[in-house]
Amino acid sequence: MTDENPFAPPTPRAARPAQEPPAPAAQPGERSAPPAGEPAPAAGQGSGHVTERLTAPVPMMTVRAPSGTFGATGAGETEETPAEDPAPPRRGRVGAGAVVGVVLLSLLAGAGGGAGAYALLDAQGPARPADVALPQPAGGTAPVERPEGSVAAIAAAALPSVVSIEVRAAQGVATGSGMILQEDGYILTNNHVVAEAADGADVVVTFADGHEQEAELVGATPDYDLAVIRVDETGLEPLVLGDSDDVVVGDAVLAVGSPLGLEATVTTGIVSALHRPVKAGEAAEAAFIDAIQTDAAINPGNSGGPLVNSAGEVIGINSAIAQGPGTTTATGNIGLGFAIPSNQARHTAEQLIETGTATFPVIGVLLDPTYQGEGVQVASEPQQGTPAVTPGGPADQAGIEPGDVILAIDGRPVSVADELIVAIRAKAPGDPVTLQVRSGDDEREIRVVLQERSSGQ
């Protein structure tokens, strides 16, 4: 910001001498004497009348909001933009008092001198602005057609069933999104949105029409990052969970939710990848998601909201966004968002509503995170007292031994431990899977029936 204050009071003019009586007119060929107290004009200088102008300098201000603040400006967060013309020397300046005076004068003129003002405009003739009549649409305003399947039509159908969630804990307030599952008050969201509710935090749901309801936690699982809450209300309009197995890359999708607390926000994009292994959350309670990847804009606050296909069906629950290498906090949308497939969400939500807990499948092995090579290696030794292969577990019954390398699951190659875990978590307990296993130089296919484990175990 420039040091000069463009709104300082005007600099007082120098006092002028009292006006003298007009001098007699000069005769032809005779030069008139200058008034007393004023020097004679220099040689070659004309004697025409000079009009003094008061010019206010242009203030140099371009304000930008500081990072992380919505609609606010911080001290020192300004940068100067020089005016195009250099400031002339000894310019007058218009102060705040002068601005107020102009405003008051305008109000008084509008109240008492309107007729005189219009008379003056009439006298000026062409200077008076002409009446303005902007062009109108031919034949009146035509209705905009929004056919079934358009983004507007899908959004209009989905928005009444999407809610904003606020969790009020002692350490602060967290916000997220959710979708109505059943007309009797069940709502699906992410576990990380309402995790504090398990410790007594208040959960408040805001519906599309603006009314609020307190909610209770029905059940949650960090393993799939899903939770169900319930409000004491009936007659709600649920969204339909579609079949995520039918989704293909390139399908058009809408992400609906409350990013950054901005309720009822809709963004569009496509499904950009499938079966993306995503590990979200802290290591102790990490969620392993066989995710749908989308470029629809997803930001903090979208968590728990639905990812909707062109038929208006929910094919995913928005849960995570990618962040660049080296960043430790979410930086906002970069075109890489991830959603929990709807088939997984359906299975887990049903368990949470029925029992308050959820289960996930296991094969009963510990994996070696230090292994470098093709596939994923089963640990060779027990880890912290836990055997590498669980005795009597699915892998043990199928003949897998410590040190074996798992190359693929159901024909899908795996190269890191998270890929194998995510592929298994995408199944249900009791499902069979086919593992391609290498023991030394021997490779074979093994059929394994997955066992069940409850969240928190």
Report the helix count and the strand count for the chain, using DSSP H and E.
7, 21
Structure tokens at 237: 């309009």
77 contacts: CB under 8 Å, gap ≥ 6: 63, 64, 65, 66
Three-state SS at 359: strand
What span, in angstroms and rounded, lies between the C-alpha atoms of 260 and 265?
Answer: 10
Distances (CA, A) of 293 to 225, 249, 269, 290, 316: 16, 9, 10, 10, 10
On whether the CB atoms of residues 265 and 296 are closer than 8 A, the answer is no
Q: How many other C-beta atoms are found inside a 10 Å radius of the C-beta of residue 279?
A: 15
Structure tokens at 317: 């629950």
What span, in angstroms and rounded, lies between the C-alpha atoms of 314 and 310?
Answer: 10
For 216, the enclosing helix (H) or strand (E) is strand 212-221
Structure tokens at 364: 């009963």
Catalytic residues: 192, 225, 303
Decide the pairing of beta strands 405-409 and 376-377: antiparallel
Across-strand partners of 376? 406
Decide the pairing of beta strands 202-206 and 186-189: unpaired
What span, in angstroms and rounded, lies between the C-alpha atoms of 73 and 62?
Answer: 11
- Phi/psi of residue 261, nearest 5 degrees: 80, 5
What span, in angstroms and rounded, lies between the C-alpha atoms of 208 and 306?
Answer: 14
Distances (CA, A) of 275 to 246, 333, 437, 454: 13, 20, 21, 23
Structure tokens at 281: 């959350």
Amino acid at 295: D
